[in-house]
Structure 1
Amino acid sequence: MKSSTLITILSTFLLVGCSKQQSALDKRLDEVERIIEVNPDSASILLENIPSPEKLDDKTFARWCMLSGKVTDEIFNTLLPSYQFERANAWYSSYGKPEEQVQTLIYLGRSHANDGDYDKAMSIYTNALEIGNKNKLYNLVGYTYSYMGDLYREKAMRTEAIEKYEMAADYFKKENNTDSYACALRDIGREYACIDSIPRALEILFMANSIAETSEDKDVKASIENTLGNIYVMQDKYDKAKKFFYKALEGREKMPNYIALIGLYIASDSLKQAKELLQRIPQDNLDYTYSIKNLYYQIYKSEGNYKEALTNLEEYTEIVDSLMYADSQSKILDIETKYNNLKIKKEVIDLKNKEQSYIIVLIICTSALLFTIMGYLLFRKRAKEKIQNQQAELSNIKTDLYNHKLELEKKRIILNNLKEKDENYDQLQEDIIRLSANYRKLQNKLLVDSPLYKELTKLGNQNIPGNDKSLITEERWKAITNEITTIYPELYNYIYSLGPNLPEEDFQYCCLYLLGFDTNTEAKLLNIATNSVSRKRSRLKQKLNITLPTNFSLYEYLIKNMH
């Protein structure tokens, strides 16, 4: 009782501890979700500081992946590996809302696209489209078509890319998503420019630029103006290109536009303006250091300052080599990270499988124990019922025996009182014989149904090698005597009327003899030879001074005459 109470208390504490830990984690994820849009960098740090996300339960892990994807959309860092989104998608596909299912599939497709597995990504996007259209999630459908267009763009399939971007634009327009609609038009215009359809590209881009005028997101308009500037550079229309690059500087990402402007000045031999602008931009931006060195190299080379040009070219080459080396190392590190993550995932799966195996074994053992207990209780119940039935049957037999005895005595008294042998006398004589026979049958049934008789029968049927003593102990002798004298209450007086000096052990043997066992069984019980049993019976007959009638055994004689 105490141990079960202790287990219950420990289990309660364990569940409370896990619940508190899970609650704290949920609060952290709630905080991440709250600040993603206003402070995505802090949200990213909070997510990165969650220890061992692989060990989270499926629901919490899926939410962690979803929030990580949303942070990536804000600060453009690297998406999580595809296998992590696979696990998240497995949970959302079973328990998530349709919107969550589509969003997870988009992240999963993008992750596979980053790995270069375009066919897998396209298959996942197709699945996302099916769920999105079915549930009328047109914004997400539009984003899915945009990412499909990106895949075709990576494979230089311009016509297919334009088709997907156009479908994305249609869905964004249907949902009045102005910013995304303008971006989709920008992507369409860019692709038309790549297939030398410049007029069509400009037409679409000006439409996008007009739509973006009403946008509160300056980055959307800046990206369109940057695209327009690049198209005019392709046409060598530097003045128009310059105007759009300067407008694009109103966006948050300024460096690409500065780089484009400086390149434009160099191309138009405005070296002084190129150098002044180059010297004004931040020189410590590591993402653009190699571009800055390349621009210095081009300016000094155009000026004829070959020494400075060579110096910057060497630095530019060194940086490019370093970047290539860093990129290769990053890929190696990424592969190692994926391997380690997959290894951790496998370990987690193995642990879960072991845990499930232990749970299954525990359930089987517990079930087996419960079935054993139930079987034992059922056996006890049936055994108890059987004993009760036997006791009731024995009680009925004893009642019948007592009633027969009373009736027999009454008949004998009536018979003795009759002075003449008339019809009644003969009838009473027959009744007495019948009652006596029934009385003996009941006595015999009471005997053979007794537990003592069954126990002695079982002992007599056993073979016990090396046994050198009687199987009937002192306690069993007493039990035999009590059982026989209870069933045959006249026995004691009858036997001692025949042999007043009969020793007690002979009377005990007489009780054993009246159990009715054959000589072999009796010999095993007494651990003597079979002929010794015959001699014991013969000596008992002599001590009782009994002369047996023809074809009568001592057993039959005693049963008949003790009444």
Structure 2
Amino acid sequence: MRLIASVLFGLLIAVQSTAQVIDSLHETIKTASAQDKVDILIELVFQYRNSDRDKADSLLEVANVSARELNYEKGIARVKILRGILFNDQGNYDKAIDQFQSALPFFESSKDSSNQEAAYNNLGISYKRLGNLDSSNISYQQALRFVSDEFGKARLLLNIGSNFISEGKLDSATQNHIEAIKVFERINHQAGLTIAYLNLGNIYYKQDAYDQAMKYYHQSLENAIASGHKPVQSRNYLNIGSILSEKKQYDSALYYFKSATALQEAMGDQTGLAASYRNIGEVTLELGDTDAAEEYFQKSLSLYEKTSHKEGIIRANKFLANLYLDKQEFVKAKNYINRSIDQAREAGMIHELQRSLEFATKIYEASGDYKFAYGLLAEEKTIGDSIFKQEKITQIDELQTQYETAKKDQEIQNLSQQSQIQALQISQRNTLLAVIVIAFLVLVLAGFIFYQRRKYKHQQAVSNIEQRALRLQMNPHFIFNALASIQNYILQSDTKESVKYLSKFGKLMRQILEHSRQEFISIEDEADMLTNYLQIQQLRFQNSFQFTIHIADELDAENVKIPPLFAQPLVENAIEHGLTGVENGLVEISFDKTKEGVLLSVSDNGRGMNKSVSTTNHKSMATKITLDRLGLFGQRFASNLKYSHPQKFESGTLATLILPHKS
């Protein structure tokens, strides 16, 4: 179940949107001057924004026309900011950015710090929604330059904290929100506390700390009910429902989702209502009512399209595609996933496009269209690589900045120390000698400790590098054999088998590349990779053998972790050297718990060893790499890890390996 996105405080400024305020503004506008009428119309748009969107749009257009007729530049610029906020509500973030940027020159020339802060704050919101966190953070920092009160500072702390949530920096996000809460408590700003509690709930939700999240959602809900702030009230209902859905308490989840729906219908909040319908659809799908789920997903899509909410349209199409995939209605599934892909491309939402392509690959593969599935897989991989590259560039830039900052701090610290030493030389010459001697001894001791720690870290780093190098050696060893098989299928002009083989081969390559970066992976992941590898080998050997993978009951396959890529070389030996030319072959793999670690066993019913055949001193590359890696792990964990050379009988071979593990 998807959590409603972290609330950005800039979207909820109008916390006092009550009928009394609206009535008061309508009464005041009757006797106001021409320019004041424009300002009052803008305030009315804020008030109607969440309760009557059509009314808000109509009033904004009147304000825009009036401001231009009066040549009221400040009014024109304020209309642009408000139009940008409304575009944000609709998910048209590019248009919103254009509005905020076009409003800024006037406020900069007039030195209107309040509206400069508002423009930059909302720019940060738009960039955040587009996934451009760097530009978002820059905009928020610009906004901080123009903040003149504690409330504005606390609001920006929440928005920056929201970015930290998206970046996965949850400790920093928590710290920002706690600081904001202190400010709101000091100035007794209940609306700010309401939103801060909501965001804190989101932070704990992301950490799967559901009890803590539920605590803050209920605090936020109580404040929202007391202040009559229905938008935040409905968001809390949705988030509480999401937690209950995660806990599979579907009836309770439906109660909260429908409570949110009732509020959103009363407010005319069509975007929020679309999210509620989507969540209700997911719950009804879990309860097995596919017809009701389809109806809610269609309602959700219709509302997102009505409000031109691009991100919502993309995801609603994807949910419908998933539903029709489950119903094996592949034509409809393809239709909706293709809409999702087109919308993501048009909106420039790279992460959404990658996720849609990944799901489309699954749909086309399930329908038997392997060639098209392979094309989608290739495009998804290209996008994934570009995202990975950009993230690495950003990470390097951040590290460079941190390094330069630390370097300057160190230089300042060194200058300060030199100044202190000079002062001591002038005033305390006799004492200085003793201080120097003591300092020298301390430095020697610190140097020795530093050397020992550096030596240990170096040894550990060398061990890690050697481990990675040995794991990477396995990739070309297997890739060569796999590509030879692909070549064979192509030469035989067997297109369907070639595409099927390439699809599985691509998935296996991704697993091997991902696992080769990790020191430990779960037994479940290792078994999944072995299953994929063995299925490829079955294709290669025309299903001349079967296999089984057994994990002992006392091993928690999801949480017990072992070093990756140890089993594959043993399995490869069993297939290549044991089962070649054997009909009805069988490879049995088992993971068992022992006092020394995890016992990995690989056996086959192949040819075994003929006692009349002389042995040679040849040792396979896979076996050599396995022994070398075991030696490195033994040094690292100070344990005696054992590898039993294959025991060969008249029929069959058994190889065992004891691996380190951690939970």
Q: TM-score range by the shorter chain?
A: 0.3 to 0.5
The structure whose residues are more often strand, as a share, is 2
Provide TM-score, normalisation by structure 1: 0.48
By relative contact order (CA 8 Å, sep 6+), the higher-ranking structure is 2
Greater gyration radius: 1
More helix by share: 1
- Give me the TM-score of the superposition, normalised by structure 2: 0.41
